[in-house]
A and B are shown apart, each in its own frame.
Chain A
Amino acid sequence: MGAQKKGATARVAEDSEVVARHSLQAILLADSFTTKFRPITLERPRVLLPLVNIPMIDYTLAWLESAGVEEVFVFCCAHSKQVIDYLGSSGWSSKPKFSVTTIEANDSISAGDALRLIYERQVIDGDFVLISGDTVSNMLLTQALEEHKERRKRDANAIMTMVVQHSKPSPITQQSRLGTDELFMAINPDTKQLLYYEDKAEYSKGFISLDKTLIADNPSIVLHNDKQDCYIDICSEEVLSLFTDNFDYQHLRRHFVKGLLLDDILGYKIFTHEIHSSYAARIDNFRSYDTISKDIIQRWTYPFVPDILCGSSAIKLERQGIYRASEVTQSRSAQVGSFTVIGQGTKIGNNTKISHSVIGEGCSIGSNVTIEGSYIWNDVTIEDGCKLSHAIVCDGVKMKLGAVLEPGVVLSVKVVVGEQFVVPAYSMVSLIQQPTQQDSDEELEYAENSSGTVEIPSDKLNGEIASDLSDTRYGPTPELGTGGVGYIWSIFEGAHDEEWRHSVAPIPTDKVAKIMLDKDEDEELLTQDGNALVEELKSDSEDDDNEGSRDDYASFEKEVEATFLRAVHENVKVDHAVLEMNGLRLSYNIAAVDCAGAIFYSMMKLAVESLHSSASELQRNAMEVITTWQKLLKSFLHDIDEEIEVILKFEEICLESAKEFSPLFSQILHLLYDKEILQEDAILRWADEKEGADESDKMFLKRSEKFIQWLREAEEEEED
């Protein structure tokens, strides 16, 4: 299919006399490679989730078509069959001037893998638009494309143009709008070149560190906190080959963009294009799902709004932003409030109140139901007296009499909520049990799910739940009340207390305050930092480099300690620990000498922190630790200087951090000698060095006098 198409484009190129006129291509990633929409995405691909009753991918495809893209390659991975089937059934695959080709892969785990695969297929032959299948936009591509091409002509290294948009600064806005983390970008105001990109809280420091060469090369840089990344990129072919060359690039932004920005050998450049009046946003989590749904209902995305996109089902826009499909059965006493969408064939009972919500097709909603700010997909049954606020309710869910959904709840496909049951806030409920392994990777989502329907591995279900909803004979699961079916997922470890960030529910005021507080704390750190900076400046004049390295060393020491403790607690093999330490050492660029000192320090600290009531017990502790980890320590003791360093470090420990050791100094020194960690030469050299020191400094030397004496005698004997 791809080859055919290429032939066609070639002909077009010949026909039109313009040289190098390509048909505009786009790569649409129909997989997010994240788990933000779990548990729903365990059963359905994200791009097919309905956004105001229309699958997300439709918005993206419709925009691409309108923007003049002629050829789209849809990359599917998780639930690829579903995506392919949908594209076939919805008619996207058979449009005359808009070709949609699917590329299927089941073993890709990241955008990087996807692009590498597409590169292998060799279907891209020019500039292309790289977009994810969950993007809603109505921007015009023409200008951005022209800018991109113009730049390419002048500079072959300008391989990518990122679309960005203005947004209000302050983390609160960003959090409350799209649920994204704050983003910092540095852009050259004249060329629009992107110089720095920092998203995520990966550096949760209170400051941004700009490389000095950046400033040297650009007399003026604008640092933005008020831009939003639209995740629409115009790329040149090189981008694909770059992904292939750098096989470790996974994430588009975190690896690729940053990799390119940091790399100064190839000299590839990324530029930005800012859109002002048009709309572009990506649905990355439940919060952005909520926000963008509202934007669509309020027609910011025009012409991609429900009544225009699905002309066939004839949704009508009424006053106050109410969209109503043609065959809605609504009781007279039901109240439908503003900014609400009601899908075809839905029935609404008496005295039911609905506002700011989206109701899918074929739903039946009973009497006295309150629905507020919620997203209800297709074929949902809500019985009388239910209350829903700020929830997402997927296809085929059944809510029995008087069930209540508190804000932030997500009910995945075909869950049944029992009578009068109150689903607690922020719960995720699914028929599938929560994957026990929190490996942060998302294997499950990629697990081949060849059948289009929900086919759940039976071992996961323990036979409790059947795919057929009417079959409740398996008995009620206590988790969801009488007659309820489904599992309430426990909140991920590490993410607890964070669920509000990405949920559909509005952020509670106390959380807003929390964000503020976090920010304040940052500042506090910062002011201290700032003061430190001043002090640093002072000493800078004397020893510019030392200061930095001392800082480095302190943090290195901490890292070593943490690594060591982890190794101890998780029973990591010594060899692995050695590797890890080496990695640390290289990344901090610390000499082996210091590394040995740091490791020894961590070992001693461990010994001191383990339970002990007397000196002898402490000694035993220390012995244990040293015996277990001697190999680790030894692998960093290559020569005598390093060994002396360990002794000096030990002295320091005894004097400062763990005074408990000071009476044991000589014993432990002996132990280290016995274990062949320290050679006698090292000990003697240390003793000689200390000989000339101050009285106070010689404290430990005196304590170990006997031992040293013994060593000397042994040596002499040997010589004899």
Chain B
Amino acid sequence: MDFQVVVLAGGNSKNLTPLISKDVPKPLLSVANRPLLYYVLHQLRQSNLKDLIVVVEGEDAALHVGSWISKTFVDGLHVEIAAVPEDIGTAGALRAISHHLTAKDILVVSGDLVSDVPPGAVAATHRRHDAAVTAMLCSVPVSGSLESGSSGGKDKTKKPGRYNIIGLDPCKQFLLHIATGSEIEKDSRLQKHILHAVGQMEIRSDLMDAHMYAFKRTVLQEVLDQKDTFRSLKQDVVPYLVRSQLKSEALLNGISQAEENGNEKLSSPNNQVLDSKILANASTPSFHELYSMEMEPDDSAQTRKTHKCCAYIASSSSYCVRLNSIQAFMDINRDVTGDADHLLSDTSSDCDNIIGPSPKLGSKTTVGPHCMLGEGSEMGDKCQVKRSVIGRHCRIGSHVKIVNSVVMNHVTIGDGCIIQGSVVCSNVQLQERVVLKDCLVGAGFVVTMGEYKGESLARKEK
């Protein structure tokens, strides 16, 4: 397909401490007993996009991730791991690996995306319109909809979140306006000249930029080159491209344009246009073309340069969440084991819960629906598990109650513990009768008897 995929896997994220640490970088954070990165890579493999560059922040993290990928995805995927310095932003990361990019189009996916939207469809949309950039948009996720008031103590606004303000053309194919971050809280400024060209624009605040973009490589590299202050794809690069789509002389001139035109136009200039029109699936040219032709009778040399910014809008039934907060982590764990269990494609379970092979459950122990129990975990008598994920090789004593929680691998839980709305990371030891409510327990921590509420327990980083 001549598509190169860049997975921005990240590394450290302050939002997610203490769940992630040096030993467990963000891509390897266990979500429903699988590393986070698995979900993206799995979708890419499904879409037959196999030429990947996984960008990880920090050398150590890159080593960890690399070894995991080579273990898990031995088949089919051609993966390169690139380590970049921390805190250079998404645009910075791409700039750093820019010389590795060779394909005609680049698909950039955030490594923390848990979604069932096929990346291939985004790529196809991009190709069909011959766009400079295509962004995947999805409905705003309903966060924390369950009663699980839950973790983190993050005080979010209760309103249905607004992540982006997005302007679309009447056929919902082109992206005309995008506002992110702090812009959303301000009054929106919409450019008139785009409106002139397109006539009407639909402004939606119920869509979210899911951070999956397809770029034309030349355009991307040009922007990264010229605008060296751009740090973030989402906040700088994409809005810039959208803003300048009818006025793209800043880009696309110089080498890249020549290269592009050279390749294409030499072969058959007219056919190319025709092809793209047919591919665009439209009998009438898009407003970009009309706009660029407006000038022509006057002065044919001075046609306007435009580039297209497209949108791929995921259907509202599809699942698409970014794991960028602890709340999201809880939500995703809950959804993946529940409603969105098709994301774990290889588990074919008839039951409404997922229990690994050879569990050892004590008598009168119940595992409710929407639960997951990893292989090799043992539970004592009279335990209750509801809406929770339990990792591999955990030892859980008797009379333990686990509700709305995530327990990772190799966790030892003493008798009579109660865990509610909490996250317990790997290798944690809970002594007897520990009560955790809305707590986060970092890896390797030993929790002594007592009651904890809304606390974050972690070992001091050395």
Which positions in A face B, CB cutoff 8 Å?
168-171, 182, 184, 186, 189, 205-212, 215-216, 218-227, 513, 516, 519, 522-523, 526-527, 530, 533-535, 537-538, 540-541, 544, 548
Contacts and interface: CB of A to CB of B under 8 A. Distances in A.
Contacts of A184: 192, 195
Interface of B: 159, 162, 165, 167, 181-193, 195-206, 227, 229-230, 235-236, 239-240, 243-244, 246-247, 250, 294-295, 298
B190 A210 contact: yes
Contacts of A527: 243-244, 247, 250
A168 B193 contact: no
A219 B195 contact: no
Contacts of B186: 212, 548
A212 B199 contact: no
A318 B184 CA distance: 61
Contacts, number: 131
A544 B185 CA distance: 11
29 contacts: A189-B202, A207-B189, A207-B191, A208-B190, A208-B192, A208-B195, A209-B188, A209-B189, A212-B185, A215-B203, A216-B205, A219-B204, A219-B206, A220-B202, A222-B200, A223-B167, A223-B190, A223-B201, A225-B192, A225-B199, A526-B193, A527-B243, A530-B191, A534-B240, A535-B229, A537-B183, A537-B236, A540-B182, A541-B182
Contacts of A548: 186
A220 B167 CA distance: 9
Summarize A's interface: helix, strand, loop or mixed: mixed
Contacts of A540: 181-182
Contact of A210 (B181, B187, B202): B187
Nearest to B165: A215
A533 B180 CA distance: 12
B307 to A, nearest CB: 14
B203 A220 contact: yes
B387 to A, nearest CB: 30
Contact of A221 (B197, B199, B202, B298): B202
Given A212-B186, A527-B244, A223 B200 contact: yes
Nearest to B206: A219
Nearest to B235: A537
A222 B182 CA distance: 22
Nearest to A544: B182
Contacts of A538: 229
B247 A523 contact: yes
A530 B250 CA distance: 12
Contacts of A169: 195-200
Contacts of A537: 181-183, 235-236
Across chains A and B, which 7 residue pairs bring their CB atoms closest together, nearest first? Answer: A226-B199, A169-B199, A219-B206, A225-B195, A207-B189, A221-B203, A210-B188
Summarize B's interface: helix, strand, loop or mixed: mixed
Given A207-B189, A537-B236, 14 more contacts: A171-B196, A184-B195, A189-B202, A205-B192, A207-B190, A220-B203, A222-B202, A225-B200, A226-B199, A226-B200, A523-B246, A530-B243, A530-B244, A534-B236
A223 to B, nearest CB: 4
Given A170-B197, A184-B195, A209-B188, A223 B202 contact: yes
B261 to A, nearest CB: 23
B431 to A, nearest CB: 44
Most buried by B among A227, A522, A527: A527
Contacts of A523: 193, 246-247
Contacts of B204: 219-221
A206 B187 contact: no
A117 B95 CA distance: 68
Nearest to B177: A223
Nearest to B240: A534
B206 A220 contact: yes
A318 B192 CA distance: 45
A205 B192 CA distance: 8
Contacts of A222: 200-203
A676 to B, nearest CB: 44
B162 A216 contact: yes
Contacts of B294: 170, 516
B231 to A, nearest CB: 8
Nearest to A212: B187
Most buried by A among B187, B196, B199: B196
Given A513-B298, A534-B240, A206 B203 contact: no
A530 B240 contact: yes
Contacts of B187: 209-212
A208 B176 CA distance: 13
A533 B182 CA distance: 12
Contacts of A541: 182
B59 to A, nearest CB: 28
B167 to A, nearest CB: 7
B193 A223 contact: no
Contacts of A526: 191-193, 247
Nearest to A167: B199
A221 B182 CA distance: 20
